[in-house]
Structure formats: C-alpha cells, structure tokens
Structure 1
Amino acid sequence: MLHFIDVILPIPVENLFTYEITEAEAGFIKPGMRVAVPFGKSKVYTAIVKRLHQNPPQIYEAKQIHQILDEYPIVTDTQLKLWDWMANYYLCTVGDVMRAALPNAFILESETLISKNNNKVIQDSDLKDDEFLIYEALHHQSSLRIQDIVDIVDKKQVFPIIKRLLEKEAIVVEEEVFEKYKPKLVKYVKLQAQHTTQDGLQALLEELSRAPKQRDVVMSLFQLSAKTKKAIKVSELTEASGASSSIIKSLIDKAILEEYFIQTDRVEFNGKDSEDSKALNPEQEEALFQIKKTFETHQVTLLHGVTSSGKTEVYVKLIEDALKSEKQVLYLLPEIALTTQLVNRLQSYFGEQVTVFHSKYSAHERVEVWNNVLTNSPKAKVILGARSSIFLPFRSLGLIIVDEEHEQSFKQFDPAPRYHARDTAIVLAHLHGTKTLLGSATPSLESYFNVKQGKYGLVEITKRYNNVLMPDIELVDIKDKQKRKLMKGHFSDRLIEAMTETLEEGHQIILFQNRRGFSPIVECNTCGHSPQCPNCDVSLTFHSYRNQLRCHYCGHHTAMLLKCQACGDPGLDTKGFGTEQIEEEVKHLFPNYKVGRMDLDTTRGKYGYEKIITAFEQQEMDILVGTQMLTKGLDFRNVALVGIMNADNLLNFPDFRAHERSYQLLSQVSGRAGRTEKQGKVLIQTYNPYHNILQQVSTNNYEAMYKEQMDERYNFKYPPVYRLIRVTLKHKDFNRVNNASIWLGTALRQVFGDYVLGPVDPPVSRIRNQFHKNIMIKIPQKQSLGGTKKAIVKINNSFMNVKDFRSVRLIMNVDAY
C-alpha cells in the first residue's frame, strides 16, 4: 500500500503539497515533524508534515521526500490549528504563517553542490581553460560549492561554465541541506587521570618546576576544583591563574590537561533565589477576586487600572495560581523595551522559570527557547515576550496576559501574516481551553466596546498604589508664549521653571517628542526648496550626530548639504524638531545635568534598551528625552515631571484612530510621573489647549473620550462598529498601479456597493520607488466575515488573471491599524 504526506511549505502557495513516503517512514513520521522535500525544478525546502494518508494526488505525480529532519514533532497539533485560523482570518497562506512562526534556524537552506561524474571519461583537451580549472579541482575534492567555483575561476558569473560542463556530462549537480542551528558548546578542562592522585600531582609539579607559569595554571586548577567541586571552564581557569590561553593550550598538547565540551543553553538565568511576591493592597485584592469571578463566565477579562495602580502585582498572583496547577503562562508585551524591567521583577519572584522571547534574540537563542517550551521544561514556565511569542509550541497553557493591550505595536505590518497579537492570543487561549487577561490604563475602543457588548468581563482599579495622587496635568499655550516672546527654543518659560524646580529637588524628568532625528524638514531660506528622498515621497530628516539627511521609510541617507540644490544659496534652515534637537537644547539650558536620549537610533543593539533604562533607573541621568518607547508601562520611581514638547503633531494625523491614540499616548506618558509619594507634574505644550482630547487627558476622563470617539465611529462606520479590510496595491509604474486600483475598486463595488472606499493615495504615496494605492472595504456587523473574505479572494483571483496586473503586488490587511 502506498503512503503519502501533505506538507506545509514555507512559501506563499495556496495548497498543501503531497509527497510519497515508504511504509517504514509512515510508521515513524508524525504531523508536526520537519522533512526536506524537493520542490520545483531543483529546490529543496524544509516542510512541516500536516497529515498522513493513502490518497495519491490527482493532478500531479507525488515525488519522494529527501529526508526526515526530526525524531519527534517540533510543532504541536494546537499550533497547526492556530496556523490554519490565522491563514483563513488574515487572508494569507499557511506557508506565510509557518515562515513567521518557526525560528529561522529551523527552516534549513539547501546549497548547490558540484561533483565529478565518475561514469564519464573526459579528455582534458575537450575542456576550455576555466572548465579545466574546475574539473581539475574536482580530482582533489569530492564536491565544490558555487562560492568555491567563484574563487577558483575568479569570476562572478560561473553559471555559464557550469552549464557547459553539464552539457559535456563532466559534472553532476545536487542539493545538500544544511542545518543552521548549532548548540552552544562551552570548553571545560580537567587534569588527565594519571595526574589526579597525590603522587601523580607531586611528580607533575616537580616536572613543571622549570615552567612556573604552567605550574601556576595546574595549581589554580587544583584549587578551583577543591573549592567548587564543579567542572571548570577554560575562561574561569584563565581568569583565576592570570595565564594566557596559549599556556593552557600547551598543557593540553603535553597531555597534562584534558579539554572537553558541555552543551549549554544560551539563555540562562543568573539571578538570586526567588522571593515571595508582595502582599496586595485592598484595591488589588478586590481586583484579583473580581478577575477570578469574571473568568467563571467569560473567556476574556479586561483589567482597566489607572497608571501605577499595581496591575503587575495582580498578574503575579494569577501566574502563581497557574504555576501551582503545573501550567505554562504567556505574558505578552508590546515592546522589547518593557521586557528589560519586567524580567527583573518576574525573575525575583519565579527565578529560572521565567524565559524571554523577542526579535532581538539570535537564531540559536530562539531555537533553545522553542525547545524548552516544547518539552515543558522547568526553565520555560512563564514566557515573557513580544508579539512573536504567540507562535511558541505550548504544551499546557494555563493563562495568557496581554499587558498594555491597546498598543498598536501588537499589530504586524509586514510581511504576512499581518496579524494582531492580542486577537490571536485570545484564539490561542480558546484552543488551549484557557483564559485571557487584557490589561491597560487606556483600553482600546475595540476591547472596551466588547466589554459593553457583554463579550468580555471588566475589572477596574481606580486608585494608584499607596494612594499616590494622579499627576497634576497642566496645558501650556505655546501660541500665546511665542507672541509674548517667552519661548527659549522649543521650551516655554513655564516648562523651564518646572524643570529647574524638579532638578533642584533631586528628581528626574522625562521629555516626550514623538519624532526621532534633529529636524524633519531642511528648507532653503531663499527659494523654499527642501531635499526629498529619491525613492519615497517624503522630505529627508536631518540627524545632527551623524551630520546626515536620512529617510525614515527606506533608509536612504546622504551627507548634510552645504548649499541649496535648487538655487545654490548656502542659507539652509531646519523646520520642526525631533528628539536630537530637544536633547541638544536641554544640554544648553541645563549644562550641569546629565541628559540621555531613547529612540530607535540609540537602541539598535541587543542590549540598547537595557543600558539606557538601567542608567536612568540608577539615576546616572537626570533628564531622559524620548519617543513613544517611553510611554509603554515603564516604571521609574524618581520621575517627578513629564514634559510633552508638542501634542499637536499627534492629534493632526490623517487617521480615524488619531484622537484615540493621542489620548492613550498622552495618558500613558503622563503616567510615568510621580509613581511614589510625591504627586507628579505633567506639562503639555500645545497650540490648541482647548482641544477636547487634551481636556479629557488633563482630567483623566476615559469614559468621555470613549463616548465621543464611539459617536464618531457609529456616524462614519468605522471599527469597532464595522470591520475593515485595507487592500494596498504596489508597483513601480504609476499608470499600471492606477489602472489596476480602478479595476479592483470597480469589481469590489459591484459586490459590496458603498462599503468600498477608494482607490486613494495614502499620506506617503511612494515608498522605495513603489507607488501605493489604498482601497478600504467596510464590513457591517451582520455581514458574514467568512463570506466577505471568499468574495474578496474570488475577485483577487480574477484580478491576477488580467495579464497587465500580474506584476502589481496586492496586500490584504485585515483589521487594518
């Protein structure tokens, strides 16, 4: 009887592919294992087995698999179900989800190998010079890679030579699969067995009397072994003896020392033993009781607690309960920056049971976390991570906590799957039969709307921990200040006065400006020209620390201009301001205090966030200037003042969520102030202090903001009342993308009528030399989401059948953010 498997390939193809396997393989292979399979003319892919069966494919002949790559499944059945749901809901392929879900090191790469054809005798005279060089090299080596051939013939284009050798049947080409993951091996040393006895050691020390450095190394090793009774690392021995690695190597060569390797985890816990969690105050106790009560009737509960109300301590008690039941916990965060502070807090309670997972981890570290979660290791009971951690292979998930659930960074923009981690986490919890807790001081309208509809439970904490007062928020009218000449650069006299007072009291300050760089626009004073990015429809941003003009969309950069490119006048001026300019102005205004900056430019390294946050926590800096990274739930105990440099550029953004986001961002950054005894102060500089959102932020009135925004969403048919699917078309030819968008818009209107908006140009209509067009499809509550998506897929297929439109890239973004 023939046996077959259906596999998921890590490429965007609609269908699963079927391969033939032997009876012995059928007895060994299980769904969730990796297999190397041939695909297309000569490619080899790593595929995940979806199911085993005995039905041969009707349309094509099934190929044999190359090899089985695992001894046990590395992907669970629950994960496969989640992948199917994501592909169906977010209108992408399961291959897209697989590529996003698996650590890169699991997706093996194939490399072309050239070897000599032993079945054919070739005369040297039949070969050209460069062909002869390759053929000669194959006499000495069993196989060559493409890169080896490039080096031998000293040419970049080697494929014509390989083609000629293939035609002469001098060589054969094959694909070899390479495993990317390498375990971390740590080098240890010990004395050879014959030297471990007392007599042996005595004889050895006498033998080394003329080599004092080598004798010192042996003595140090002996002392370390006696002291720790553990295996001794080479690095520990070099440090203890003060000897160089070459001395240790010579002792190994003399067979005095023996080296050996032990496989260790790259991700290790180096802290103290865990301590008991803090006792909760009455408000937190009540919240914990209410959460457990709502979990009896609801799958999802929203914890709406004001900033600094101690939500994390409530989470800790829930995690403790889950761990007592031998369950795993997923703690989702919007930003890597937050993990730094939380890791320390959670590790102080749960020790080495806490594991961290995010995109700054290396491929090898990700594989190790994956394996620990898969085997339900004691090291991976509490997983703290950014959005990608929802893909981990949980065995027994007992709780999912989504902290700062309103954050837009939970939504993946590129590449597919364009999923929302909060919504996917709720589905993941449902598949595991467990509960989800959403936490925020400023919940998203979607979550609060679901509470009002009765879908989610709601628990509120209205007081800050230790009854600390909410910060005093003051709006500063900078239009009035400019008229009265009370501004110094971008600082009003009121902000400078408050900063001086705070610094004199020994407290710290946070200054928020949601734009990195020095200045977003450089303009000529004579003709008004400003340098534009050659690849995108945006002006270049000036970065003073590198003296560069940079594009924040495609990364294009050039040296700062000395004169205007249009008229040649040297009078160039900067308009607008970013974090760099604020940092520079603060240094001039307060030269005796230390100033730091936290934005994308200063946090690029793996430990970039950690260094800045730790320095600020330990009060090595007095003033921290930053972008919205600062707003995400960070806990700085000594911050007494928060200054928002300009609230207007948040409010005046062309997006229906702009006012909701402004409220969330301003409230969150305000919440960093006064988290201990003293009431904090927040100064918001604005040209329009009477704006409704600013008034609501200053009185901390979430309900008023929710009501006003929901009225607008009902009137204009936007989420959460209606659902949204945004279709983006991209192509380097403007006319082609224009015609394609008109055709697609017309086809969609025939099915959905007035619920289709566009095509329109987005605010930035050209990025990386690709022109963009957007079409928005609104889906009313009663309309079937599944039926809508089927209709869209059908129209999409017709679109792809139009010859002129095949090269236009279509991007579907469900629940667009």
Structure 2
Amino acid sequence: MQFFIDVILPLPLDKRFTYSVEPHEAEFLEKGMRVTVPFGKSKMYTGIVADIHQNPPEVYDAKPIHQILDKKALITEHQLKFWKWISTYYMCAEGDVLRAALPGAFLLESESTVKLITSVDAETAELNDEEYLIIEALQRQSSLKIQEVTQLLDRKNVLPVINKLVEKEMVALNQEVYEQYKPKKVRFVRLAAVHSGEAAMHKLLDELERAPKQREIVLNFFSLKAQSSKPVKVKHLLQKSNSSAAILKILIDKGFLEEYFIETDRNIYSGEAPSSELLFSEHQEKALREVKENFENDEVCLLHGITSSGKTEIYIRLIQETLEKGKQALYLLPEIALTTQLIQRLQSYFGEKVLVYHSKYSMNERVEVYRHVLENDEKGKIVIGARSAIFLPFSDLGLVVVDEEHEGTFKQFDPAPRYQARDAAVVLANSFKAKIILGSATPSLESYFNAQHHKYGLVELNRRYGDVLLPEIEIVDIKTKHKKKLMTGHFSDRLLEEIKAALKEEEQVILFQNRRGFSPILECNTCGHSPQCPNCDVSLTYHSHNNQLRCHYCGYHIAMQKKCMACDSNDITTKGFGTEQIETELKSLFPNNKIGRMDQDTTRGKYGYEKIINAFEQQEIDILVGTQMLTKGLDFRHVSLVGIMNADNLLNFPDFRAHERSFQLMLQVAGRAGRTKKRGKVLIQSYNPYHQIIQQVSTNDYAGMYKDQLEERYNYQYPPFFRLIRFTLKSRDYSKTNEASDWLAKSLGNVFKQYVLGPEFPPVARIRNEYYKNILLKIPQQQSLGKTKTVVHKIMTSFRAIGAFRSVKVIINVDPV
C-alpha cells in the first residue's frame, strides 16, 4: 500500500507538494514533523508535514522523501490551522508564513559540499595553483563547503575552479543538509577521581609546590567547592584565581583536573525572588472588574486607559489568574525598546516563567524559547515579545495581551506574510477560546469602532495612578517667534526657559523629533541643487557624527560635500532638522548637562535600547532626544518636561491615517511627562497652532478626534467602513511598471468598477533602482471578502501568465497601514 504526505516548503509556492513515503515511515510520521525533501533538480529543503494520505498526485510522480528530522511534531495542529488562515487572509503562500513562523535554525537548507573522488592521484594530474590548493585541502579533510573554498582561495567566485575539477573527475559536488542550531555548552571542571581522598589532595598540593600558578588554581577550586555545592565553571575559576586558560590546560593534561560540558539555556533569569505585591487603586479595581465582566460575554476587550493609569498592573493581575488555571499567556508589544522595561517588571512578579522572543535575539536563543513553549514546561508559561511571537507553538493559551494596540509597528511590511499582529492575535486567541485584551491610551479608530458597535467589550480607565494630574499642554507658535527673532536654532524662548527650569530642579527632559540624522536636505544657495540618491527618488540626509550624506532607503552614502556638486559654489546650507541636529544644538546650549539620543542609529545591537533606557532611568542622562521610539509606553519617573520640536511634519503627510497617527504620537509622547506627584508639562512647537489635531491633543480630546476622523473616513470610503487591499508593482523597467499597472488596474476595474483607485506613483517612486506604482482596491462592508479575494486570485493568475510582465513583481498588502 502506497502512502503520501503533503509538505509545506519554505518557498513562495501557491500549493503544497506531495511526496511518497514507505508504510513504516507513514506509521511513524505525524502532522507538524519536519522532513527533508528534494525539490527541483538538485536542491534539498526542509518541509513541514501538513497531511498524510493515500492519494497520489495527478500531474506529477511523487518523489520519495530524503529523511525525517524529528522524533515528535515540531508544529502543532493549532499552528497549521493558524498558518492556513494567515496565508488565506493576507493572500500569501504558506511557505512565506513558514519562514516567518519558524526560527531559521529549524529550516535546514542544502549547501553544496565538495568531496574528493578517492581514486585520484593529485601528483600526476595537471593542476594549476588554485586547483592544487583545493585537492591538497581535501586530502586532509573529507569535504569542504563552498564558503570554506572561498576563504581558502581568497576569491569570491570559486565555482569556475570547482567546475574544472568536476570535469577532470577529481572531485564530486554533493548537496548536503546541515543543522544550524547548536546548544550552548558551558565548560566545567572537577577534581580527577584519583585525587578525591584527603590524603590524595595533600599529596597533590605537595606535588604542585614548585608550580605556584597551578597550585593557586587548585586552591581556588577547593575554596569554590567549599562555598557552594554547584559545579565549578571554568570561567569563574579563572577569574577567581586571576589565571590563564593555558595554566588550567596543564593541570587537565597532567590529569589533576577533568573538564566536562553541560548544555544550558541561553535565556536565563538571574534576578531576585519574585514578589507578589500589587497595590491597586479603586479605579484600577473597577476597571479590572469590568474587564472580567466583559470577558464573560466577549472574547475581546478594549482597555482605553490614559497614559500612566496603571494598565500594566491590570495585565499582570490577569496573567497571574491565567497561570493559576495552568494556562499560557502571551504579552505582545509593538517595539523591542519596550520589552527591556517590561521584562524587568514582569520578572519581578513571575521570575523565570517569563520568556522573551523578538528579532534582536540570536537564532539559538529563539530556538530555545520555541522549545520551551512547545513543551509547555514551567519556563514556557509567559511569553513577552514583538509581533512574531504570535507564531510560537502554544498548546494551552489562556490570555493574550496586546499593549499599545494602535501602533503601526504591529503590521509586518516586508517580506510576506504582511500580517497585522493585533488582528492575527484576535484570531489566534479565538482558536484557543482564550481571552484577549487590547490596551491603549489612544486606541486605533478600527478597534474603538468595533468597541462602539459591541463587537469588542470596552473598559475606560481615565484617572492616572495615584491621582497624578495629566500634564499641562502648551502650544508655542514658532511662526510668530521667528518673526520676533525669539528662536535660538530650533528652540523657542519658551522651550529653553522650561528646559532650564526643569534642569535646575534636577529633573529630566524628553525632546521628540520624528526624523533621524542631522538634516534631511543639503541645498545650494546659488543654484538650488540638493544631492539626491542615485538609486532612489529621495534627497540624501546629512549625518554629522560621521560627516556623511546617507540615503535612508537603500543605505547609499557619500562624504559630506564641501561645495555644490552642480555649480561648485561654496554657499551650501542644510534645510530641515533631525534628532542629531537637536543633540548638537543642545550640547552647545547646555554644555554642562548630559545629552542622550535614541533613534535607529544609536540603538543598533541587541542591548542598544537597554543601555540608553537604563542610563536615562538612572539619571545619567539629563535630556533625551529621540524619534517615535520614545512615544511607546515607557515609564520614566523623573521626567517633568516633554518638548515636541515640530508638530507640523507629522500632520502634513499624504496618508488618510496621518491625522489619527499624529494625534496618537503627540499624546503618547506627552504621556511620558509628570508620572509622579508633580504635574508635568508638555510644549508643542508648531507653525500652525490652531490646527484641529493640535488643539485636540492639548485638551486630550480623544472622543472629538475619533468623531471627526470617523466622519472623514465615512465620506471618503476608508476603514473602518471599507476594507483595503493595496497592490504595489515594482520593476527596474519604468515603462514595464507603467504597462503592467495599467493592465492590472483595468482588469480590477472591470469587476470592481469605482472601487479601484490608481495606478499612481507613491511619494517615493523609485527605491534601489526599482520603480514603484500603487493600486488601491476598496471593499465595501456588504461585499464578501472571500469572493473578492477569489476574483483577485484569478486576475493575478492571468497577470502572471503574461510573458511581458514576468519581470514585474506584485506585492499584495491586505489591510495596509
């Protein structure tokens, strides 16, 4: 009897592929296991078993699998269903979801290896120097990977050399699959068994009388053993005895000490014992009660709590109750920067039950978190992470918390799947019949709309914890200040006055400018030319710390120009300003104070965020300048003043969500001020102080903003009244992009009539030498989403069948942000 399996491959393919398996293999296999399978002429891939059956494929002969990689399933049934939903809803391949969902170490891929054909005599063959080097190396070791040959010959393209050796039948090319995950092993030492008695120990010390450094290591080893029953780490022993690894090696070689290794976790909590003290205000108690009441009727509850109202404590209490029921909890955050503060808070309550999962963690760390969650052991009960944490293999999820649910960073942009983690989390929770709470001080219009229409439960928490007052918000008209010559650089006299007052009181200041770099435009005053990126349609941004002009889209950079590139004039100036320029100005205005900067340039690396946040918390930084990273729910106790440097560049953006987003950003950054007894202050600098959104921010009028924006969305047919699908076409050929987008827009227009907008060029129409064009499809509420996507699929199949458009790539983005 013949058995077959359907496999999901980590490739953007529209369907699963079928492979044949032996009856005994079919008996052992289960859904969710990994298998390596041949695909194409010579490639090997790791696939996931999605189904086991007895129906042979009709169009092709099923190839046999190469090997089974797991003893038990790595992917749960829940995950497979969830992947299917994501690929269907967000219109992408299951292979794309697989790539996003699994840490890369689980996805083995073939890599060519070169092996020597044993019957070869290298001495008699005619070889050039490079070929001889390869053969000589292969005589010393069984095989070489392509990258090892590259290092050996110190040249990039080694394939021609290897091909010549293959033609001469001296070497063979094999496709070999290799495992990437390596467990972390810690090196320990113990006393050799022969020296374990007391007499033997004294004899050993006498023997080492003439080797004082070796004797020192042994004495320190005994003292460490006396202090603790734990095994002795090599690292600790060397530190304590202030010795080198070479001396320790002598002791091991002599047989006095033995070394051994123990596999250990990379994610280890090393803190104090957890505390369970949670003091609630009566408003928090009331909100918690209401959340639980809502949970009885609805699975989803929206918690609209103003900044610093104590939403995190409510989440902690809910997580605690979930753990008591023996279930798992997932805490989603929009930004890695936030995890550092929250991990500490959660660990102080739950100790080592808290696992962290996000992209700044190494591959091996993510593999370990994945395994803990899969095994649902004590360490895998609470996961705190960025959007990709929704893909972890939960088996008994009881609660999902989506903090700062309005954030755009919950939406994945590239590569596919372009999912919205908040919406996907609602579906994930629903599949486990788990409860989900969405929290924000400024909820997204869509979530608030759902709550108003009783799709979600709604709980309001409108008092700050400890009855701390909301900050006082003042708007500064910089147009008038410029006329009256009251500006110093980009600072108005009012802002400088307030900064000086705050610093005098030994309090901290946050300044917000949503643009990194020193200055976005360098302009010649003689001819008006500004240096542009050769690969993208944007001007280069000036970064002063390395004196470079840099493109924020493709990374192209050149040295700062001393004179105009077009007319050789020396009269060049910078226009606009970024965080770097604010930092430079502050250093000259406040030379005695410590200035910090937090943006994409300063937070690279795994601990980049942590260092800056910790320094600011410990008051090592007096003034912190930053981009939107600062607006997320960070809790700083000593900030009394927040300055928004220029509110206008947030508002004047060509996007239907611009006003909602700028309201959220400004109110969120304002919420960082005055989180203790003293009332904080917020200054908003603007050329247009009477703008409706700025006025609504100053009075904290979320309801007014919601009402106005909802009316506009209704009039212009945007979410939450209409669903959107955006098609982005890109190619290196300008006319091909135009032709393809016209064809696609016309085909969509034949079916969907007036609901197709475009094609049109986006604000930045060329990135990395590729031309972009957008088409927007609007879907009214009464129209079936499933049927719409079926039609889109058919149109896309016809589009891909046209040979002329083969080079044009189409990106489908469902619910674009």
TM-score tier (shorter): over 0.9
Structure 2 counterpart of 1:198, one-letter code: E
Structure 2 counterpart of 1:403, one-letter code: D
Cα deviation 1:195-230 (Å, max 9, x = unaligned): 111000010011111111111111111111111011
The worse-fitting range, judged by mean Cα deviation, of 372-381 and 574-583 is: 372-381
Structure 2 counterpart SS, 1:779: strand
Residue 629 of structure 1 corresponds to 629
Structure 2 counterpart of 1:677, one-letter code: K
Cα deviation 1:748-769 (Å, max 9, x = unaligned): 1001000000000101000010
Structure 2 counterpart SS, 1:209: helix
Residue 565 of structure 2 corresponds to 565
Task: Give the TM-score normalised by structure 2.
Answer: 0.98
Matched, 1:106 2:82: no
Residue 244 of structure 1 corresponds to 244
Report if the CA contact (8 A) 1:723-1:815 is conserved. Answer: yes
Matched, 1:391 2:391: yes
Structure 2 counterpart of 1:537, one-letter code: D
Residue 789 of structure 1 corresponds to 789
Report if the CA contact (8 A) 1:124-1:132 is conserved. Answer: no
Residue 356 of structure 2 corresponds to 356
Structure 2 counterpart SS, 1:693: helix
Structure 2 counterpart of 1:765, one-letter code: A
Report if the CA contact (8 A) 1:273-1:348 is conserved. Answer: yes
Report 1:745-760 matches (<5 A).
Answer: 745-760=745-760
Cα distance in 2, alignment partners of residues 472 and 454 from structure 1: 34
State the 1:143 CA deviation. Answer: 3.3
Matched, 1:199 2:195: no
Residue 620 of structure 2 corresponds to 620
Matched, 1:222 2:222: yes
Residue 366 of structure 1 corresponds to 366
Structure 2 counterpart SS, 1:565: coil
Structure 2 counterpart SS, 1:208: helix
Structure 1 counterpart of 2:338, one-letter code: L
Matched, 1:536 2:514: no
The worse-fitting range, judged by mean Cα deviation, of 543-552 and 25-34 is: 25-34
Structure 1 counterpart of 2:93, one-letter code: T
Cα distance in 2, alignment partners of residues 520 and 444 from structure 1: 30
Structure 2 counterpart of 1:519, one-letter code: S
Structure 1 counterpart of 2:525, one-letter code: N
Residue 86 of structure 1 corresponds to 86
Cα distance in 2, alignment partners of residues 67 and 545 from structure 1: 53
Residue 417 of structure 1 corresponds to 417
Change in Cα spacing, 1:794 to 1:239, as seen in structure 2 (3 Å) is: same
Matched, 1:52 2:52: yes
Cα distance in 1, alignment partners of residues 517 and 153 from structure 2: 47
Report 1:477-626 matches (<5 A).
Answer: 477-626=477-626
Residue 712 of structure 2 corresponds to 712
Residue 13 of structure 1 corresponds to 13
Residue 452 of structure 1 corresponds to 452
State the 1:240 CA deviation. Answer: 1.4
State the 1:684 CA deviation. Answer: 0.3
Cα distance in 1, alignment partners of residues 553 and 111 from structure 2: 33
Residue 802 of structure 1 corresponds to 802
Change in Cα spacing, 1:154 to 1:698, as seen in structure 2 (3 Å) is: closer
Report if the CA contact (8 A) 1:635-1:672 is conserved. Answer: yes
Cα deviation 1:769-797 (Å, max 9, x = unaligned): 00000000000001000111111111111
Report if the CA contact (8 A) 1:355-1:382 is conserved. Answer: yes
Report if the CA contact (8 A) 1:355-1:369 is conserved. Answer: yes
Cα distance in 2, alignment partners of residues 668 and 147 from structure 1: 48
Cα distance in 1, alignment partners of residues 558 and 394 from structure 2: 47
Structure 2 counterpart of 1:619, one-letter code: Q
State the 1:136 CA deviation. Answer: 6.7
Gaps of 5+ in 2: none
Structure 1 counterpart of 2:720, one-letter code: P
Structure 1 counterpart of 2:795, one-letter code: I
Residue 278 of structure 2 corresponds to 278
State the 1:245 CA deviation. Answer: 1.4
Residue 813 of structure 2 corresponds to 813
Matched, 1:728 2:733: no
Cα deviation 1:695-717 (Å, max 9, x = unaligned): 11100110000000000000000
State the 1:371 CA deviation. Answer: 0.5
State the 1:147 CA deviation. Answer: 4.1
Residue 209 of structure 1 corresponds to 209
Cα deviation 1:784-817 (Å, max 9, x = unaligned): 0011111111111111111110110000000011
Gaps of 5+ in 1: none
Residue 691 of structure 2 corresponds to 691
Residue 314 of structure 1 corresponds to 314
Q: Percent identity among equivalent residues?
A: 62
Residue 303 of structure 2 corresponds to 303
Matched, 1:95 2:95: yes
Structure 1 counterpart SS, 2:47: strand
State the 1:142 CA deviation. Answer: 3.7
Report if the CA contact (8 A) 2:729-2:809 is conserved. Answer: yes
Cα distance in 2, alignment partners of residues 288 and 277 from structure 1: 16
Change in Cα spacing, 1:207 to 1:394, as seen in structure 2 (3 Å) is: same
Change in Cα spacing, 1:150 to 1:600, as seen in structure 2 (3 Å) is: closer
State the 1:114 CA deviation. Answer: 3.0
Change in Cα spacing, 1:152 to 1:281, as seen in structure 2 (3 Å) is: closer
Cα deviation 1:11-52 (Å, max 9, x = unaligned): 101111111111221121111111111100100001111111
Cα deviation 1:252-282 (Å, max 9, x = unaligned): 0110000000000011000000001312111
Cα distance in 1, alignment partners of residues 750 and 606 from structure 2: 50
* Number of residue-to-residue matches in the alignment: 816
State the 1:111 CA deviation. Answer: 1.7
Cα deviation 1:715-769 (Å, max 9, x = unaligned): 0000111000000000111111011111111111001000000000101000010
Cα distance in 1, alignment partners of residues 334 and 139 from structure 2: 57
Report if the CA contact (8 A) 2:90-2:418 is conserved. Answer: yes
Structure 1 counterpart of 2:23, one-letter code: E
The worse-fitting range, judged by mean Cα deviation, of 581-590 and 267-276 is: 581-590
Matched, 1:701 2:701: yes
Structure 1 counterpart of 2:231, one-letter code: A
Structure 1 counterpart SS, 2:280: coil
Cα distance in 1, alignment partners of residues 157 and 455 from structure 2: 62
Change in Cα spacing, 1:310 to 1:58, as seen in structure 2 (3 Å) is: same
Cα deviation 1:364-408 (Å, max 9, x = unaligned): 100001011111121121111000100111111110000000000
Structure 2 counterpart of 1:472, one-letter code: E
Residue 67 of structure 1 corresponds to 67
Cα deviation 1:70-123 (Å, max 9, x = unaligned): 1111111100101000000000000000001100111112121233456x8889
Structure 2 counterpart of 1:582, one-letter code: I
Report if the CA contact (8 A) 1:277-1:316 is conserved. Answer: no
Task: Give the TM-score normalised by structure 1.
Answer: 0.98
Change in Cα spacing, 1:349 to 1:728, as seen in structure 2 (3 Å) is: same
Cα distance in 2, alignment partners of residues 293 and 648 from structure 1: 42
Cα distance in 1, alignment partners of residues 28 and 304 from structure 2: 50
Residue 640 of structure 1 corresponds to 640
Residue 26 of structure 1 corresponds to 26
Cα distance in 1, alignment partners of residues 40 and 447 from structure 2: 45
Report if the CA contact (8 A) 1:44-1:110 is conserved. Answer: yes
Change in Cα spacing, 1:473 to 1:30, as seen in structure 2 (3 Å) is: same
Structure 2 counterpart of 1:181, one-letter code: Y
Structure 1 counterpart SS, 2:202: helix
Cα distance in 2, alignment partners of residues 689 and 186 from structure 1: 60
Report if the CA contact (8 A) 2:122-2:135 is conserved. Answer: no
Cα distance in 2, alignment partners of residues 702 and 140 from structure 1: 72
State the 1:347 CA deviation. Answer: 0.5
Cα distance in 1, alignment partners of residues 280 and 580 from structure 2: 41
Report 1:116-195 matches (<5 A).
Answer: 116-117=116-117, 129=128, 141-150=141-150, 156-166=156-166, 169-195=169-195
Report if the CA contact (8 A) 1:596-1:624 is conserved. Answer: yes
State the 1:619 CA deviation. Answer: 0.6
Cα distance in 2, alignment partners of residues 750 and 368 from structure 1: 51
Cα distance in 2, alignment partners of residues 756 and 100 from structure 1: 30
Change in Cα spacing, 1:139 to 1:500, as seen in structure 2 (3 Å) is: closer
Residue 334 of structure 1 corresponds to 334
State the 1:127 CA deviation. Answer: 5.6
Cα distance in 1, alignment partners of residues 615 and 412 from structure 2: 30
Cα distance in 1, alignment partners of residues 318 and 424 from structure 2: 21
